[in-house]
Amino acid sequence: QKEVEQDPGPLSVPEGAIVSLNCTYSNSAFQYFMWYRQYSRKGPELLMYTYSSGNKEDGRFTAQVDKSSKYISLFIRDSQPSDSATYLCARIEGSNYQLIWGAGTKLIIKP
Amino acid sequence: ETGVTQTPRHLVMGMTNKKSLKCEQHLGHNAMYWYKQSAKKPLELMFVYSLEERVENNSVPSRFSPECPNSSHLFLHLHTLQPEDSALYLCASSPRQGRHTDTQYFGPGTRLTVL
């Protein structure tokens, strides 16, 4: 089973809140995960990637991998209306390093 | 122009029409990709090209026909499509194919509606 599962949302939170976006995966030989952000009428853009377990921080964004529970999380601190977008998680699969995608979670930050 | 561009941005076609989607990357990358994005579904990889050679074809119906004349351009030729083919078609490129450290850069997509 290759799937990456995401709650489609929408997730609506007030400006300034801490946002938690989550994905679960079934199995992965490669502990390499990515978060992409997709604004309306645009293509996805890489936000962060993580390798193996633990946290990775980049400004207001923190990516977390919990291998034991097969859970991937993206936290956004001090959320802004400009963070409103769809967030896609993905993992690497196979010897050709194909990306396996989640369906995305739509996030709305209310001013 | 910078990054990855796609034309047209919107396309409406009948089931008997023939049309083509165009993608151009200005990043000097060697790998290019076609994805299909349907509402509330994961991105589906359709085709992968590396140095103008097709390296991946994920069981895509023959009514979709890709063409990669050089490493900067990628086309998706469409004919006798079905209404369920309506979706956002995304083109992406990466420096190389098959390297997990190489980021894929996406174009804005072509919104296709099949009547």
Residues B3-48 have pLDDT tens digits of: 999 999 999 999 888 999 999 999 999 999 999 999 989 999 999 9
B5 touches chain A (CB under 8 A): no
Residues A38-74 have pLDDT tens digits of: 999 999 999 998 877 788 999 999 999 988 888 899 9
Of B4, B103, B108, the CB nearest to A46: B103
Buried b (16+ CB within 10 A) or exposed e, B12-42: ebeeeeebebbbbbeeebbbbbbbbbeeeeb
What pLDDT score does A29 carry?
Answer: 67
Chain A residues within an 8 Å CB radius of B99: 97
> Tell me, what amino acid is at A94?
G
Beta bridge partners of A25: A4
Residues A18-46 have pLDDT tens digits of: 999 999 988 766 678 899 999 999 999 99
What are A's interface residues with B at a Cβ cutoff of 8 A? 3-4, 8, 30, 32, 41-46, 88, 92, 95-104
Q: Cβ separation of A42 and B103 shorter than 8 Å?
A: no
B75 touches chain A (CB under 8 A): no
User: A2 falls in which pLDDT band (50, 70, 90)?
Assistant: low
B106 touches chain A (CB under 8 A): yes
CA of B76 to nearest chain A CA: how many angstroms apart?
17
Q: Residue A92 is inside which H or E element, if any? A: strand A85-93
CA of A16 to nearest chain B CA: how many angstroms apart?
27
Burial of B83 (0-12, 13-18, 19+ CB in 10 A): exposed
Quote the CA–CA distance of A73 and A19 in Å, as a whole number: 10
DSSP state of A29: S
